[in-house]
Amino acid sequence: MELNMTNLKDLKDFYRDYLLEECIPFWMENGLDRKNGGIITCLDRSGKVFSTDKSVWFQGRALWMLSKLFNTMDKKEEWLEAAGGIYNFLMKYCFDKDGRMFFSVTRDGKPLQKRRYMFSETFAVIGCAEYYKACGDGGALGKAREVYSLILDLYRHPEKSTPKINPETRPMKSLAVPMILLSTTQVLREVDPDPFYDQISKELVDIILKDFYKPSDKALFETVGLKGEKIDSPQGRCINPGHSIESSWFIMHEGMARKDNQIIQKALQILDASMELGWDKEYGGLFYFVDIEGKPAEQLEWDMKLWWPHTEALYASLLAHSLTGDEKYRKMHERIYDWSFSHFSDKEYGEWYGYLHRDGSVSNLLKGNMWKGPFHLPRALLLCTRLLENMNT
């Protein structure tokens, strides 16, 4: 569809139809494990399974997505039933004896890999919380609260986790942790209202803006020292445009919740800076990684175009336009829309390719793996649809 943001109804209908006709059916028909429960995300272009190992991230993420659809779009029993199968698999197989979670398990739930990061746990929290809202299962909310307490403790006491880099030699912290914890807190707060979550959200936003955002560099840094100091290393110079853009709309949401325009303005600055740094001016699309000083990036895949930064940019730009009415955000959204749907979208089998070369040609025909599944794209489509519904009233 040719984008015309003067007709919000047509744009809303496009996003809704793509979500419900091209995206969700792909995962419902091909990914759901109706024998063992849970969801398989390693799918090729047409939806055939190429590995039965299951990403624990996506048990939580898919649980959230299907529950959110049920709660906000339509009370389809097939969505709630699928969410229930994923929830049961998550509870039965994805937690280790110490309360932490695995990163991957076999099709029938045997543990395969466990990582130091708390991201499996954050996605379990949002999945359980949203599932509770969908079905009223108090056990799901109880589990969300329990796991949230665990990850909050890990965040406050990083020494309890195995560090990736020796903290005595190079003490540093990553944007990914407060960023994802902020989003997790916001989701939990929606279904479990408590001033405690407001306090945590404020703390996390303050840390992101104080320590990771450098207005003088016009960048949200991926890694900084413990007090926010810049680090002269490839990790310290790294900007992840996708993370930065995703962070911008998390912070916009927080500014909206607090009715604090100053926070919203800072979020808009982060969005502007991230799009300027990340957009490939030769081929279009967003780089995966950027070195703030233009030095060689540590990641060899730095110039690839991945699906998820573009989905985050779709929603962040549309949200910015709705909040400000600024023409530049309308043009930003159109640019992202045009590039993304002309390169990632698979008109034959539905859904999006995940990995493109710099010039936009397809690098890999897979539609899902241990990191790509029913989350970033359907979440963006859902959020854009809901936002446009509000903008059109």
Residue-wise pLDDT for 190-217, tens only, equals 999 999 999 999 999 999 999 999 999 9
Write phi, then psi, for 219 (nearest 5 degrees): -160, 150
User: Scanning the structure block, which residue is given the tokens 């912290």?
Assistant: 173
Helices 261-278 and 241-258 pack at an angle, to 10 degrees, of 170
Q: What's the pLDDT at 80?
A: 98
- Give the pLDDT confidence score for residue 5 in this predicted structure: 57
User: What are the distances in angstroms from CA 170 to CA 24, 116, 173, 296, 298?
Assistant: 43, 18, 10, 21, 17
Pair 247, 179: CB distance under 8 Å: yes
Write out residues in the chain with pLDDT < 70, as ranges: 1-6, 393
Q: Which residues pair with 20 in a beta bridge?
A: none
What does the alpha-carbon distance between residue 104 and residue 113 come to, in Å, rounded to a whole number? 5
pTM (whole model) above 0.85: yes
Tokens of 368: 């899902």
| Interaxial angle between packed helices 307-324 and 376-391, expressed in degrees from 0 to 180 and rounded to the nearest 10 | 20
Q: Dihedrals φ, ψ of 108, to 5°?
A: -95, 10
Where do the domains of the chain lie, and which CATH numbers do they carry?
A: 31-162 (1.50.10.20)
Neighbouring residues of 135: CB distance < 8 A, sequence distance ≥ 6: 80, 83, 84
Angle at 259 between CA 258 and CA 262, to 5 degrees: 95
What is the identity of the amino acid at 143?
K
Measured distance CA(205)–CA(273) in Å, rounded: 18
Question: Of the candidates 227, 344, 339, 190, which has an alpha carbon nearest to the alpha carbon of residue 275?
Answer: 339
Residues 6+ apart with CB under 8 A from 168: none
Cβ–Cβ < 8 Å for 347, 35: no
Q: Which residue is it, tokens 């008109």?
A: 347
Give residue for tokens 């070195």. 291
Percentage of the chain modeled with pLDDT above 90: 93
Residue labelled with tokens 């307490």? 149
Nearest to 24 by CA among 388, 384, 373, 386: 373
For residues 144 and 129, is the Cβ–Cβ distance under 8 A? yes
- Tokens coding 25: 């059916």
- CA 143/CA 191 separation, integer angstroms: 13
